[in-house]
């Protein structure tokens, strides 16, 4: 396992964010999963929407999607670990989002090293914040809130134009680690 492998995975996941978000919505809507796991999935969706996430799209370019993709992978991995039978059902419905998940998490966490745990805490924290008057917990318990979240994602995805050449050019280890380090240090100093 190398950092280059992790970057290759991350680049692929940046371009698959729309499909991976659909896999998260399936988790949010799954009544056979615990509310905690469903809320975590909604939090990863909110993280993708929230402009105050660790690497914002404005000013972050395509690199600003890398942390979004990692948050999605983290939420799906949590479902895989804590509810393997339900994860298996979801993987059958959306194999492109679930196949290789454990390996991808190992690669990305290894590449991020000491930043992995602070990043995991930070994306969860940001994802649980209200955004536009809505929150992850409400989207799990209220069908209208869930519908709003789906529509908000559709709106955001329509505005995102992911240039695959920019992904290759911008999603690199050094800038990713530098931006995450700086943002996590800022969050830590405010705490």
Q: What is the mean pLDDT of residues 79-100?
A: 98
pLDDT at 174: 96
pLDDT at 20: 97
pLDDT tens track for 30-87: 999 999 999 999 999 999 999 889 998 876 689 999 999 999 999 999 999 999 999 9
* Predicted local distance difference test score (pLDDT) of residue 36: 97
Query: In angstroms, how far is the first alpha carbon of the chain from the final one?
Result: 34
According to the model, what pLDDT value does residue 2 have? 93
- For 79, the 3-state DSSP assignment is helix
pLDDT at 119 over 70: yes
**What is the percent of the chain where pLDDT is above 90?**
87
What is residue 191's predicted lDDT score, i.e. its pLDDT?
60
Q: How many CB atoms lie within 10 A of CB 4?
A: 11
Q: Does the pLDDT at position 178 exceed 70?
A: yes
Please report the pLDDT score of residue 32 as a whole number. 97
Q: Which residues contact 120 (CB under 8 A, 6 or more apart)?
A: 74
Residue 49: predicted pLDDT: 93
Q: Which of 42, 71, 22, 73 is nearest to 141 (CA)?
A: 42
Q: What is the mean pLDDT of residues 131-155?
A: 95
Structural domain spans, the chain? 3-186
What is the Cβ-side half-sphere exposure of residue 131, based on CA atoms within 13 angstroms?
24
- The pLDDT value recorded for residue 159 is 84
Report the C-alpha gap between 28 and 41 in whole angstroms.
6
Provide the pLDDT for residue 188: 75
């Amino acid at each position: 396992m190398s950092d280059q492998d992790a970057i290759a995975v991350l680049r692929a996941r940046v371009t698959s964010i729309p499909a991976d978000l659909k896999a998260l919505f399936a988790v949010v809507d799954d009544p056979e999963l615990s509310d905690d796991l469903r809320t975590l999935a909604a939090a990863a969706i909110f993280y993708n929407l929230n402009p105050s996430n660790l690497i914002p799209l404005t000013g972050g370019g395509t690199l600003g999607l890398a942390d979004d993709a990692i948050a999605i992978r983290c939420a799906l991995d949590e479902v895989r670990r804590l509810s393997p039978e339900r994860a298996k059902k979801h993987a059958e419905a959306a194999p492109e989002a679930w196949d290789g998940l454990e390996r991808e998490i190992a690669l990305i966490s290894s590449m991020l090293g000491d930043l992995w745990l602070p990043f995991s805490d930070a994306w969860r924290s940001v994802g649980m914040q209200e955004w536009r008057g809505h929150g992850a917990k409400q989207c799990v318990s209220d069908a209208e809130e869930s519908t709003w979240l789906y529509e908000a994602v559709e709106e955001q995805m329509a505005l995102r134009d992911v240039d695959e050449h920019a992904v290759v050019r911008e999603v690199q280890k050094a800038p990713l680690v530098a931006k995450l380090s700086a943002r996590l240090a800022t969050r830590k100093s405010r705490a």
